[in-house]
Amino acid sequence: MYRHQGRLMAAVCVVAMAGALFAQETVSETPEPTVKRYVGEITGNDVYVRSGPSTNHYPVTKLDAGTKVQVHRVVNGWCEIDPPLGCFSLVHRNFVDVGAEGTPGVINGQKVLVRAGSSLTADLYARQLKLNRGDEVQVLGSHNDDYLRIVPPTGAHLYVSEKLVAHVADGNLDMTIAALTGDPEPAKPNPSPTSQTSPASQPKQNAANPKTADRTVKQPGGTSSASRDGGRKSEDVSGHTGLSVMEASLKEEIEKPVEHRDYDRLIEGFKRIADKDTSDQARAVAKSRIMQLEHAAAAQKSLLELRAMGEDLSSDRNEAMRERTLIKPPPRPIGRGFDAVGELRVSMLYGTASSPKRFRLVSTGEKPRTIGYVEIPDALSLDMQEYLGRKVGVRARDKRLQTGDVDPVVIYVAQELVVLDSNEP
């Protein structure tokens, strides 16, 4: 019987080794992402921007035709882009110290996860990057009880299908304007085809990009690249006097500090063009600017509110610290005053000989959840079999938050463990 078992184990090992080799070959044949930075333009309306390079990743926002994006590379048919205007990232509030007087927030932990925030769904599982102690973040406000919204840090990327992005030019967006509007300057449209059945009349962009050859590329505001006069080249809006004046005002305004920018004046100016101008394309560009400036005005309002909150928080913190020095905690009665109560279980996370001696503490209600982890110091000699699987009270000599690749979790460094009866609160 043992001989047959030995043969079976040998066969299992051979199969496992073959599977590993096959997996290595499969990975080696996977094409590398195409790395080429260029400026892209969205070719459809209500195009999803996703938190990862597949339709399985949750959407974070939508873009319309004509919106410019900075493409860093292409991953399996998905363009990796800088987060468009209005997008935000998330970081756990326990790892951010918010400064006073409008100063940036500062990360207070190591390897703190930054996640992709979404205005379309409550999902937040997609990880973008990690920050370390001392890194600065621009906080936009609260997202929920646990997370803060922040301006996406450098290196945070989102994804959009390559099929819906037309290659406009190699290189980078004008970051001075993109920081405010996400669309630095309207691109000149291609000449309109005189006949849908004449291949020679098709725009060169579609001929060079077969993924968009059967699609009419839309310009900002939803208008087609085909002009309405039956083939005449579309109007060059960069020479429009009203738009030129407003674009110059826009560039001048964004050079000012954020708190001094007059977005309302710019919005009113673009509204006059959008409501009364005789040029269809000028009205479309003005409407796009209005939408972008309204988002910027909302972000400015949130920033100013955040600065006020930071000042109030700093004042309250100083007052609380002063009062705290005057308070002396009463002595804890013997047998009471546990730092945590729950059922003690073996931890799969810290179950190796090289890991700290820690056990999982689980609540005993109808929906058990992990309260934290109990660390047993070497100096505390306990027979853990007497406590495992039982309801215990923990008195801790130290309590801290665990950081790293997981969300914050409490670590109790035990000073004493007490087995509690089932009827004891």
Smallest Cα–Cα separation from 171: which of 81, 34, 37?
A: 37
**Residue 278: pLDDT over 60:** yes
How many domains is the chain partitioned into structurally? 4
Per-residue pLDDT of 129-167, as tens digits, reads 999 999 999 999 899 988 999 999 999 999 999 999 999
Q: Is residue 334 part of a domain?
A: no
CA distances from 53 to 73, 125, 298, 369 (A): 11, 14, 29, 32
**Residue 189: pLDDT over 80:** no
The three-state secondary structure class of 171 is coil
Residue 261 and residue 310 in one domain: yes
**Residue 89: pLDDT over 50:** yes
By percentage, how much of the chain surpasses pLDDT 70? 70
Partner residues linked to 80 by β-bridges: 73, 159
Query: Of 299, 328, 357, which residue is a domain's last?
Result: 328
Question: 363: domain range?
Answer: 340-419
Query: Of 113, 128, 159, which residue is a domain's last?
Result: 159
Residue 331 phi/psi, 5° resolution? -65, 140
Give the pairing type, strands 89-92 and 147-150: antiparallel
**Most confident segment among 194-203, 227-236, 360-369:** 360-369
Q: Is residue 350 part of a domain?
A: yes
What distance in Å separates the CA atoms of residue 249 and residue 265, rounded to the nearest whole number? 10
Which position has the higher pLDDT, 260 or 177? 260
Residue 44 and residue 137 in one domain: yes
pLDDT at position 161 is 96
**Residue 357: pLDDT over 50:** yes
**Residue 41: pLDDT over 80:** yes
Q: Is residue 166 part of a domain?
A: no
Smallest Cα–Cα separation from 357: which of 420, 401, 413, 418?
A: 413
Which position has the higher pLDDT, 34 or 325? 325
Q: Is residue 344 part of a domain?
A: yes
Residue 278 and residue 294 in one domain: yes
**Would you place residue 422 in the very low, low, confident or very high pLDDT band (cuts 50, 70, 90)?**
low
CB neighbour class for 321 (10 Å; exposed up to 12, middle 13-18, buried from 19): exposed
Smallest Cα–Cα separation from 68: which of 187, 176, 179?
A: 187
Q: Is residue 187 part of a domain?
A: no
Low-confidence winner among 114-128, 330-344, 346-360 (lowest mean pLDDT): 330-344
Query: Of 143, 159, 175, which residue is a domain's last?
Result: 159
**Would you place residue 75 in the very low, low, confident or very high pLDDT band (cuts 50, 70, 90)?**
very high
What distance in Å separates the CA atoms of residue 411 and residue 196, rounded to the nearest whole number? 69
The token duo for 115 is 């996640």
How many residues are listed for the chain in this entry? 425
- Average pLDDT, rounded, for the chain: 77
pLDDT at position 401 is 83
Residue 390 and residue 284 in one domain: no
- Scanning the structure block, which residue is given the tokens 């089932």? 422
Residue 134 and residue 105 in one domain: yes
Residue 101 and residue 23 in one domain: no
Residue 50 and residue 106 in one domain: yes
**Residue 417: pLDDT over 60:** yes
pLDDT at position 236 is 41
Q: Is residue 292 part of a domain?
A: yes
**Residue 113: pLDDT over 60:** yes
What distance in Å separates the CA atoms of residue 226 and residue 406, rounded to the nearest whole number? 52
The DSSP code for 93 is G
Low-confidence winner among 28-37, 211-220, 329-338, 353-362 (lowest mean pLDDT): 211-220
Residue 78 and residue 7 in one domain: no
Residue 133 and residue 22 in one domain: no
> What CATH number is associated with residue 372?
2.40.50
Residue 64 and residue 6 in one domain: no
The token duo for 78 is 């998905």
Q: Which residues contact 132 (CB under 8 A, 6 or more apart)?
A: 107, 109, 110, 111, 112
**Helix 280-325 to helix 263-276 angle, to the nearest 10 degrees?**
160
pTM: 0.39
Q: Are 137 and 105 in contact (CB under 8 A)?
A: yes
Give the pairing type, strands 370-375 and 409-419: parallel
Low-confidence winner among 69-78, 236-245, 343-352, 382-391 (lowest mean pLDDT): 236-245
Give the pairing type, strands 34-42 and 165-170: antiparallel
230: left (phi over 0), alpha (psi -120 to 50) or beta: left
Residue 16 and residue 70 in one domain: no
**Would you place residue 197 in the very low, low, confident or very high pLDDT band (cuts 50, 70, 90)?**
very low
Q: Is residue 211 part of a domain?
A: no
Q: H-type helices in 174-262, by residue range?
A: 175-178, 204-208, 241-253
Residue 381 and residue 268 in one domain: no
Q: Is residue 126 part of a domain?
A: yes
